[in-house]
Amino acid sequence: MEEKNISVIIPVYNAQDTIKRAADSVLSSKREDIELILVVDGATDNSLEICNQIKENDNRVKVIYQENKGTLCARLEGINNATGRYLMFLDSDDEYLDGIFERMIELINKYQPDLIKFRYKKDKYDQYKYFEEDEILINKNDFPNKVYPMFIDGFQLNAIWNLCVKRERLNNIKFNAKNIKYGEDLMMNLEIFNNINSALFINDIFYKYNTNSNSVTQSRDRNKWLKNLQDAVDVYMFLFYYIKIWHMDTIDNIMKVEKRVKKEISVVIELLK
């Protein structure tokens, strides 16, 4: 099987209104060294039919169907079927901006990084810069000072969808594939950043985050938010675990994470009232 440079994985669940836009933002690039993997996660609408139509029109597309297991499991299935040297993750209601793949290949050739982290835009908001430098390559030895604190101090590294990661760095990761639907990005990132040796942070904005009123974070369903609460607790236990692994389990850092957990709980409680 021919190896591609980049595989883009999109989990698809009841995304009939948005999946073509997301896919087009990938396939608008005419590069033959990219592939698009659409993992239909037990959708009950016309998502599967639309994905198959997209595949018929472009030989760079793969469609995989699985019973509904959640976004995390869909991404893992995509990883297992990817041929790209590097992997990227796009949500089915979002889209890439022009020039992303040309820029990724340029940076891969220049730095050979294990991971590239780029910025996103949401509505009229452009994500803050990670660093003042337009391009900064950080090696593993500097992660405790420059990278890992971003997991502890805030939400800078929560998202999985604005990165490009070397596939071989995921081979030895045993992701917890249980049905977590809230906070799964943070869980994946913790495992990924723990297993890479270098990360390139750039100030380019290549991802457009579109607010979806039907997403799990926008739902007002009581049972969903109770499940979200349990997911949040499970994911933050991962964060506590890695703080210890990184030898960063100071009282100050533990209190910072505890504050984040309390904030998550308070949000859920307000929504349940």
End-to-end Cα spacing for the chain: 54
In sequence order, the 6+-apart residues with CB closer than 8 A to the CB of 118 are 100, 103, 162, 163, 164, 202, 204, 205, 206, 207
Would you state the pLDDT for residue 1?
56
265 has a pLDDT exceeding 90: no
Would you state the pLDDT for residue 42?
92
Question: H-helix or E-strand containing 41?
Answer: strand 34-41
In sequence order, the 6+-apart residues with CB closer than 8 A to the CB of 149 are 248
Would you state the pLDDT for residue 262?
85
In whole angstroms, give the CA distance from residue 168 to residue 78.
Answer: 14
pLDDT digits (tens, 9 = 90+) for 114-123: 999 999 999 8
The domains located in the chain, with CATH, are 6-211 (3.90.550.10)
Distances in Å between the Cα of 173 and the Cα atoms of 169, 192, 253 are: 8, 8, 25
Measured N-to-C along each axis, helices 47-56 and 19-27 cross at an angle, to the nearest 10 degrees, of 20
Q: What's the whole-number mean pLDDT along residues 54-62?
A: 97
Q: What's the whole-number mean pLDDT along residues 207-236?
A: 74
In whole angstroms, give the CA distance from residue 44 to residue 40.
Answer: 10
- Is residue 94 a contact partner of residue 207, using CB atoms and an 8 Å limit? yes
Q: To which residue do tokens 């974070």 refer?
A: 217
28 has a pLDDT exceeding 70: yes
More confident residue, 69 or 177: 69
90: buried, middle or exposed (CB in 10 Å: 19+, 13-18, 0-12)? buried
- What would the DSSP string read from start to end of 65-100? EE-S--HHHHHHHHHHH---SEEEE--TT-EEPTTH
pLDDT digits (tens, 9 = 90+) for 150-169: 999 988 899 999 999 999 99
Q: Structure tokens of 13?
A: 């669940």
Q: What's the whole-number mean pLDDT along residues 26-41?
A: 97
100 has a pLDDT exceeding 70: yes
Q: Tell me the whole-structure pTM to 2 decimals.
A: 0.91
Measured N-to-C along each axis, helices 184-195 and 71-81 cross at an angle, to the nearest 10 degrees, of 40
